[in-house]
Amino acid sequence: MAGDALIVVDMQVGLLDGAPKHDLEGLVRRINALATVVRRTGKVVWIRHCGKQGDGFAPHAPGWAFLPELDYQSSDVVVDKSLNDAFAGTTLHDVLHGMAADRVIVTGWATDQCVDSTVRSAISRDYHVVAVRDGHTVSDRPHLAAPEVIRHHNWVWSDLLTNRSVRVVTTAELLKQR
C-alpha cells in the first residue's frame, strides 16, 4: 500500500449515542488492521467532526474523542471538520498533497453522510479512491436497514465517474495486497 493515506471518518465516542451502528466492533478491528498496514509506507488521517455547543461532538465534549478501541497513534494526522465533507473548509487536501498520497482509502461513519461526501469529494479532487466495502457503518434509517444502506452506497461508489480510479474492495482484499 505504498503512498496510501487511510482516511478514518468520524469514529468518535459521540457515534455511540443513538441507534446502534451496524457491526461497529468488527469495523473497529478492520480499521485497526488497515491502519497497521498503511503506516508502513503511508499515513493514517483521522477526521474528527467538530460539532456545535450542546451536541455530542462539540470540541472537547466527551463525544468528540476518538473511540478508545481504535489504534490512534501520535504519528497519525488529525483533520478537524464541521461539515459532512471532510475536504470542505479543512486542510485535508493540503495534508494529502503534502504526503504525496498515491491513493486514499476511505473508512468510517456514517456511510450515507460523511463517508459518502468524503468519497465523492476525493474523486472530484482527482485522487485514486478506495472505498472499503466493509470499512464503514451506519444506523438503520427509517426507510432502510443499515446493511442495505451500506450495500447501496458500495454499489453507487463502484460506478462513479472519475478521472483516475475508484474501487470498492473489502478489508481482506486490501490486506492481501501486502
How many independent structural domains does the chain possess?
A: 1
CATH number at 52 reads: 3.40.50.850
**CA–centroid distance for 33 within its chain:** 14
DSSP one-letter code for 65: S
Measured between alpha carbons, how far is residue 102 from residues 2, 69, 94, 105, 165 in Å?
Answer: 7, 28, 14, 10, 11
Q: Is 14 helix (H, G, I), strand (E, B) or coil?
A: helix
C-alpha cell of 26? 468488527
Q: What is the mean pLDDT of residues 19-48?
A: 97
What is the spatial distance between Cα 39 and Cα 31, in angstroms, rounded to a whole number?
12
Position 102 scores a pLDDT of 82
- Domain carrying residue 14: 4-176
Query: Strand order of the sheet with strand 166-169?
Result: 77-81, 43-49, 4-9, 103-109, 128-137, 166-169
Give residue-wise pLDDT tens across range 114-153: 999 999 999 999 999 999 999 999 999 999 999 999 999 9
Does the structure show a pLDDT above 60 at 160? yes
Give this prediction's pTM: 0.97
Strands 77-81 and 103-109: unpaired
Instruction: Identify the helix (H) or strand (E) that includes residue 45.
Output: strand 43-49
Handedness of CA 176, 42, 87, 79 (dihedral sign): positive
Position 30 scores a pLDDT of 98
Position 178 scores a pLDDT of 66
